[in-house]
Structure 1
Amino acid sequence: MSAACDLLLVGAGHAHLGVLRLWAAGRRPRGRIELVCPEDAAWYSGMLPGLLAGRYRSEECCIPLTPLCRAAGIEWRQAAVTALEADSRSLRLEGGERLQGRWLSLDTGAPPQAPAHEDADMELLAVKPFPAFLARWQAWQRAPERLAILGGGAAGVELALAMARQVPGLALFSAAELLAGHPPSLRLRALQHLQAAGVQVHERCPVERIRGAALLSRGQPVWHGPRLLLASGASPLPWLRSSGLASDLHGFVAIASTLQSLSHPQVFASGDCASLAGTPRNGVHAVRQGPLLAGNLARALTGQPLQDYRPQRHSLALLADGRGGALLSWAGFTTEGRWCGLWKDWLDRRFVRRHQGP
């Protein structure tokens, strides 16, 4: 086993990017700190629909980790984690190498959940991890086929609007109403855009199984086709499920308001891999957790009291409409237009620019 680090950061999600940005600005705590991530860049999910719609280049949507880690004064190891032992705070990497840290911080994200499938004659593609998704999407574009998208949240809606005019037929499946948890008026706006783009929307239609080339809901076939894109609810990484960390009913790492594991306080977790009571699992909260996480990691390393994360009551939602505009929601108010798209573009580009190393 390699010599123990004072702190191991696992994953380069939005919260960890915020940590690295603040440390690069001069707030890095003392000690040996290492980031472990299987990819050499962190992709900003908010710009993915624009990339698919042809408004961005790939290099505009990702943050190279080498210069950011260098600016933050931490080591970076490109490797995939295959196991975590919470009691010893040790990681096993692909290839068998092991790492250990006095403190751990997990921000690994969570892949979309796939339905059960038997004798599937349908190609499944998850929207995460982004590099694998983009490579396969480019191959699909060379031979377009009918496509279904599983997931009626913001990601599914944005992807459908970005892809609708690039495939010969597109269907969107939502287990509940479209954009559940958002104002009803935002759902109506989204439905109008999807209808105008020719997307077949299936609401309150949970897909439980794939059989052959068919999607089954409540035991009945609801769609036939060759390709399925998974943009549905997240699922915990298998090695987190078996780590020994306390979890919620779905297997996500259960954390306190300090972002510490409920069972192992020397382990922090944030973003999609974590479960905090009263806090939706989305990119907005992951970004907002970054500054508090940076401060709490520094306090943990120096034995100081930690602070609590307090989610804001309202969150701004900006959904790309596939044509350069966006749908906006804030505190029950909704609107849309080209100016919303320009505002979203400015916010997204600012996020990437702020996290790029010098």
Structure 2
Amino acid sequence: MKPFDVLLVGAGHAHLGVLRRWAGGARPPGRIGLLNAGPAAWYSGMLPGLLAGRYRAQECQIELAPLCRAAGVELLDGEVQALAARQRKLTLTDGRQLSASWLSLNVGGQVVGPPQRGSELQLLPVKPFAGFVAGWQAWQAAPQRLAILGGGAAGVELALALAGQVSELTLFSAGPLLAEHAPGLRLRALGHLRLRKVLVREDCPISAIDEDCLLSGAEPVWHGSRLLLATGATALPWLAQSGLACDPAGFVQISASLQSQSHPQIFAVGDCASLAGAYKSGVYAVRQGPVLAANLQAVLRTAPLRQYRPQRQSLALLATGDGGALLSWREWSAGGRLCGWWKDYLDRSFMRRHRLPG
């Protein structure tokens, strides 16, 4: 296949923002493609609401074909197996190969469980979202007691969304619940979880799975047959194997221009990238979009590049599964129906900005 001038890999928040800007008339010259595993991009912010029955699946997805058509971008369906960074060549899982003068990676990460012996305990990671939604729907044909691994925002939102759908739910957190958020948010979340009869085990890292048992160190702490994995994302293995400079966790090290530190003709944004001060959150990825769009335009015209400066603070809004939400900003927290209305408004506004008629 003829090389692309620019190839976007993954339909994450930042790349969606780039496509929206190009659809508005700021598209750079040349042949441009978007590679994504599937025809739609799932919006993670609405996933808890989907599981709680507040949204339909189609409300939580952005169809990529209309957006790509408007942006003058070729849409390709496929999943990356390997990247040769020096040649900027991708090998896909079906054997196809793609190359480009400029690559941009917005591929997120993966959720990996603890070491497992035996197969009695079924594991369902929250990513990729399409697989998670299908897996959860299959599980709900015969609901059973459930454990969730992950004491961050994702684990809390899932627990609150699913508590009424299973007979018993336990949430495990390796440290304090919501440790990176305002203390008041943690207390509010614990109160909601208690009202939903969710058993919360803080400071209980899960080290291994032995048949149907979760182990913390050598101590058995839970028995069952179903475990949701909502821990922080780990890097996709092919990133570190590509020749790109990566941090110790395997994420691509980038500069303020969002370019790889070792291969400047490759950009990386969102969760797959590593930059001081930029946390792995959609809030940060969204703000990388305008800088990335400007810089992809600039490199094709040999113009100066813009610098991305992460915001020092970010707003957190966690759905409580009943139409409400919890909010934190710096050390301040709040909760209730008004916060839920605001979260719903922000989520639907994001979807409207990126949805185009088919």
Alpha-carbon distance in structure 2 between the residues aligned to 1:257 and 1:85:
23
Alpha-carbon distance in structure 1 between the residues aligned to 2:143 and 2:95:
40
Counterpart of 1:290 in 2: which secondary structure? helix
Q: 1:136 maps to what in 2? A: 135
Structure 2 counterparts to residues 143-158 of structure 1, below 5 A: 143-158=142-157
Q: 1:230 maps to what in 2? A: 229
What is the root-mean-square deviation in Å for CA atoms of aligned residues?
A: 0.9
Q: 2:105 maps to what in 1? A: 106
Offset of 1:277 from its aligned partner? 1.1
TM-score if structure 2 supplies the norm length? 0.98
Q: 2:36 maps to what in 1? A: 37
Offset of 1:180 from its aligned partner? 1.2
Count of matched residue positions in the alignment of Structure 1 and Structure 2: 357
Q: 1:322 maps to what in 2? A: 321
For 1:217, the aligned partner's letter is S
Structure 2 gap segments, 5+ residues each: none
Greater alpha carbon shift after TM alignment, 252-261 vs 111-120? 111-120
CA contact (8 A) 2:257 2:307 kept: yes
Q: 1:305 maps to what in 2? A: 304
CA contact (8 A) 1:113 1:230 kept: yes
Alpha-carbon distance in structure 2 between the residues aligned to 1:224 and 1:287:
40
Q: 2:205 maps to what in 1? A: 206
Q: 1:333 maps to what in 2? A: 332
Structure 1 gap segments, 5+ residues each: none
Offset of 1:240 from its aligned partner? 1.4
For 1:309, the aligned partner's letter is Y
Offset of 1:238 from its aligned partner? 1.8
Alpha-carbon distance in structure 2 between the residues aligned to 1:220 and 1:184:
29
CA contact (8 A) 2:277 2:312 kept: no
Q: 1:349 maps to what in 2? A: 348
Alpha-carbon distance in structure 2 between the residues aligned to 1:113 and 1:98:
27
For 1:115, the aligned partner's letter is P
Percent of aligned positions that are identical = 62
CA contact (8 A) 2:160 2:196 kept: yes
Offset of 1:250 from its aligned partner? 0.5
Structure 2 counterparts to residues 76-87 of structure 1, below 5 A: 76-87=75-86
TM-score if structure 1 supplies the norm length? 0.98
For 1:67, the aligned partner's letter is P
Counterpart of 1:142 in 2: which secondary structure? coil
Matching of residue 285 in structure 1 with residue 298 in structure 2: no
Alpha-carbon distance in structure 2 between the residues aligned to 1:345 and 1:131:
21
Alpha-carbon distance in structure 2 between the residues aligned to 1:269 and 1:64:
23
Q: 1:92 maps to what in 2? A: 91
Matching of residue 24 in structure 1 with residue 34 in structure 2: no
Offset of 1:97 from its aligned partner? 1.3
